[in-house]
Structure 1
């Protein structure tokens, strides 16, 4: 149980940090105009919404494990035990979160959640950007997938016999929204990079591996 609680704390802190803008971003009106309302909502409310949800999930998860009668939730006897899904999910969150932080440090002031080409912007080719075309998006997908797997048992704990159905629906819906967001974001970002850096971007893009074909 102790190791699971420690893991919950690590997951909450790391995933929250990975979804928080390292520096201030463009104004709301600029994001709406350039990227659209859906991207605006994702960028503006996501950094606040995700940490709150993670904290609530962690508190409920820990309460169910610790409390002998965690009314009104449904007790799960083995929630405190590690499963293969837990281990894989935790590894994804850990690796994805650290990769995301690496991207923050590599890009520095050029890393913003909104796509902003600064006047003195330069094309960063240092690791991890020398290895993967869009490592920050790759990291975000790893963290998202890990969170789905790690918190999956809470569906049954909260919703009882309907827990699995509701959880699968939430995961499927969120996954579609997330993939759509990143797909649109990659298209927009690459278009902006091509306009700014032209031949330098084309040479860079051709030589970098895509984690997911045609997307990231």
Structure 2
């Protein structure tokens, strides 16, 4: 769900920016009249430092998470599961923390809040947040994202327990070497 919202808002923002470059074209007029509330001007859409920081965090978090997928090879799953031929991966980012892909995901979400929450973004400048529906949607999305992040933090000990059950002493040794779950020296 979060990815769908992320891509939808990103595509809308790109469409408005492109339409703004060709404002006399019929398709551009339709896009701008549909996606910008009355009295709002698309010229308010700008890339500022916060938006650039957000875009950078999204890119870095995504690349880091993809790296985690590659290191885990076929053992990476989105559902909590331990496969029959599962191996304990202790190299790459897994030599630093036990759940590095979650760090990538948290970085992506922080980037989304920076990009979409800053002045100059379509969400802030279109007027959509001034509507009841827009406010309810964004509030619900924010609550969902925070709940999801808290859920990730709660899921890590459950994953650790499943891996400990499967790998026993090997996992215990690795957990002593790699005591942190997401950020070295922090958590």
TM-score range (shorter-chain normalised) is 0.7 to 0.9
* 8 A contact 2:128–2:135 mirrored in 1: no
Aligned to 2:95, the other structure's residue is in SS state coil
Runs of at least 4 residues off by over 3 Å: 49-52, 160-168, 209-216
Asked if the contact 1:155–1:167 (Cα under 8 Å) also holds between the matched residues in 2, the reply is no
Q: How many residues align?
A: 167
- 2:96 aligns to what SS in structure 1? coil
Pair 1:142-2:104 in alignment? no
- Secondary structure of the 1:205 match is helix
1:30-77 CA distance string (max 9 Å, x none): xxxxxxxxxxxxxxxxxxx34433332123112322234511313342
Q: CA RMSD in A?
A: 2.8
For 1:13-24, what aligned pairs fall within 5 Å after superposition? none
Paired position in structure 2 for 1:211 = 182
Matched, 1:54 2:6: yes
- Determine the structure 1 residue equivalent to 2:44: 78
* SS in structure 2 of the partner of residue 93 of structure 1: helix
> How is 1:95-106 mapped onto 2 (pairs within 5 angstroms)?
95-106=60-71
Q: State the alpha-carbon separation in 1 of the partners of residues 186 and 162 from structure 2.
A: 16
Q: Is the 8 A contact 2:97 2:183 kept in 1?
A: no
- Equivalent position of 1:64 in the other structure: 16
TM-score, length of structure 2 as denominator length: 0.75
Partner deviation per Cα, 1:81-123 (whole Å, 9 max, x = no partner) = 3211112111111111111111111111111111111122111
Give me the whole-angstrom Cα distance separating, in 1, the residues matched to 2:98 and 2:3: 27
Structure 1 residues without counterparts, runs of 5 or longer: 1-48
Distance 1:182 1:203, change over 3 A: same
> Shift of the alpha carbon at 1:177?
1.4
Closer/same/farther in 2, CA of residues 203 and 127 from structure 1, 3 Å limit: same
Indicate yes or no: 2:55 matched with 1:90.
yes
8 Å contact kept, 1:89–1:146: yes
Tell me if structure 1 keeps the 8 A contact 2:156–2:181.
Answer: no
Q: Distance in 2 between matches of 1:94 and 1:145?
A: 11
Return the alpha-carbon distance in structure 1 between the equivalents of residues 130 and 2 of structure 2.
Answer: 26
Gaps of 5+ in 2: 24-28
* Structure with max Cα Rg: 2
In structure 2, relative to structure 1, the CA distance for the partners of 1:125 and 1:213 (3 Å cut) is: closer
After superposition, the Cα gap between the structure-2 partners of 1:160 and 1:120, relative to the gap in structure 1 and judged at 3 Å, is: closer
